[in-house]
Structure 1
Amino acid sequence: TVVLAEINGLLIANAGIDHSNSGGENFVVLLPKNPQKTVNEYRAFFMKEFDLKNLGVILSDSRVQPLKKGTIGVAIAVSGFEPIEDCRGRSDLFGRPLLITQRAVADDLVSAAQILLGEADEQTPIVIIKGAPVTFIDKPPSSMQMDPEECLYMNIFAQYLLKKNEKKKE
């Protein structure tokens, strides 16, 4: 049985409870209770320990996408850089203004790192990415979440449920 749950503003399979790589039949891996606090603490530790000026930290997980095979990486929380690059108002190659595009920079980085992190017995808990084109910040990052009313998938799902309920009434 697979359960789809909303955890920290993300739709997560099995409510973020992972049996893989958990150490045995009676063990599971859980997401931190406060992911933002966790990445902030890791960032503060690494910046002090290694005397760093700029550092971004991402807490990630893997997830599936609608109608696609395979898992990809997803950023659960970010500290030290803007996770979203707002491209609205910029021009494309042909001078047309972008109206909707907001690049999920943190998710893109996690998806690239996921190849190295692995899903099985790779035992690679951390990936260091250098030279990524990110905007470093010393404040809380902008939100990566979207209102359900603005979400393409949630709108399609809501329309499906409405139609299904209408058929039941007939």
Structure 2
Amino acid sequence: MTLLVVPATGVGEVRPGDDLAALLAVAWRGAGVVPQDGDVVAVTSKVVSKAEGRLVAADADAEDPRAEAVAAETDRVVAVRGRTRIVRTRHGFVMAAAGVDASNVETGTLVLLPLDPDGSARALREALSRHWGANVAVVLTDTAGRAWRAGQTDLAMGAAGLVVLDDHGGRADAYGNPLVVTAPAVADEVASAAELATGKLSHSPAALVRGLDAFVLPAGDHGPGAAALVRAEDEDLFGLGAREAVLTALEPGRAGARGFGAPATPEELGGALARVLGTGARLSPGEDGWVLEVPPGSDRLLAAVLLACGWAARSPYDAPGGLRVGPASRIGP
């Protein structure tokens, strides 16, 4: 596979209400590029947000001018270190500062992520197809860090007309080994390839990527969008920072707190109880669920372990015969 990545230059400042598709069409025409069926257009979510008017004023009097906007865009806090806030946005993205950005924008102004990135990608795809008469896919990009690696890369915030996840399940490698979990995030890889061509300081808000025809969907089929790349909370093994997980579990009155993933199995819970409370803790099946016996005076630690493991009490802690417990997601009101 050979890829060609061509940045769009000379677009200029994008303002609320601008026809972004028309601006991009003019930019590539000036570069002598004729888009064709199977091309992928990667556009920074920032210029999409500008065109859609997703701009707010920074709080110049606050210690952190972005704090109020970040709070408004936050669904749940994942980790905090000083002024750095890693949060889960209303879209489900886990990002620093909820994607609120003060770069490449007029001083005193903040750019928010699009309200519906996949919807924005669909609208832009349709508009570009009308301008060019070609079936292209669209990816909206933004920059994000990674939990285990230094630096940042661009990821897909929205997508339309593209196979965003190439699931290799059922295939085999060259040695005949079955592939079970391999699933390249094509949309994220497109976003990163485009960023290599556009950079952060070139004033180029988009790049055309050619050579990915096999991943471009037919006209009218927008696909699942980048929402398909968002990991569900119950599958997230790292939904809270290390410090936040400990404090959340120990804080009184936080039963049912989010960020701990799916409930642990009884075997996993039993092992956790033994590690924290010692051999005096015993979990066993009962007639109406699971019964837990613990050493006296361990209610606070027990509550923390249950919360961290996604379990909850079904009876008072001092119930005769032991505490009745069960996975929190299966416990009714």
TM-score normalized by the length of structure 1: 0.86
Q: Highest Rg: 1 or 2?
A: 2
Aligned to 1:76: 157
Aligned to 2:141: 60
Aligned to 2:85: 3
Aligned to 2:238: 153
Q: Pick from 116, 119, 132: which aligns with 2:197?
A: 116
- The structure-2 alpha-carbon separation of the partners of 1:17 and 1:164, relative to structure 1 and needing over 3 Å to count, comes to closer
Aligned to 1:22: 105
1-side partners of 2:93 and 2:173: how far apart? 29
Between Structure 1 and Structure 2, the one with more strand by share is 2
Aligned to 2:229: 144
Q: For 1:25-58, what per-residue CA distance to the aligned partner results, in whole angstroms no more than 9, with x for missing partners? A: x111221112122111111111011101x21101
- The structure-2 alpha-carbon separation of the partners of 1:164 and 1:41, relative to structure 1 and needing over 3 Å to count, comes to closer
**Tell me, what secondary structure is at the counterpart of 1:106?**
helix
Q: For 1:129-148, what per-residue CA distance to the aligned partner results, in whole angstroms no more than 9, with x for missing partners? A: 01124141433423222222
**Tell me, what secondary structure is at the counterpart of 1:3?**
strand
2-side partners of 1:146 and 1:165: how far apart? 22
Counterpart AA for 1:51:
G
Counterpart AA for 2:97:
N
Equivalences for 1:30-109 in 2 at 5 Å? 30-52=112-134, 54-109=135-190
Q: How many residues align?
A: 166
2-side partners of 1:140 and 1:148: how far apart? 25
Q: Post-superposition shift, 1:125?
A: 0.2
Counterpart AA for 2:148:
L
2-side partners of 1:67 and 1:80: how far apart? 31
Q: For 1:47-104, what per-residue CA distance to the aligned partner results, in whole angstroms no more than 9, with x for missing partners? A: 011101x211011100000121111011001001111111111101211111111110
Q: Post-superposition shift, 1:165?
A: 3.5
1-side partners of 2:160 and 2:249: how far apart? 42
2-side partners of 1:77 and 1:59: how far apart? 5
What stretches of structure 1 of length at least 5 have no aligned partner? Answer: none
1-side partners of 2:178 and 2:117: how far apart? 35
Q: Post-superposition shift, 1:164?
A: 7.6
What stretches of structure 2 of length at least 5 have no aligned partner? Answer: 1-82, 253-299, 302-333
TM-score normalized by the length of structure 2: 0.46
Please say if residues 163 and 216 of structure 2, whose CA atoms lie closer than 8 Å, have aligned partners that are also in contact: yes
2-side partners of 1:15 and 1:127: how far apart? 24
Please say if residues 136 and 216 of structure 2, whose CA atoms lie closer than 8 Å, have aligned partners that are also in contact: no
Counterpart AA for 1:141:
G
Counterpart AA for 2:232:
D
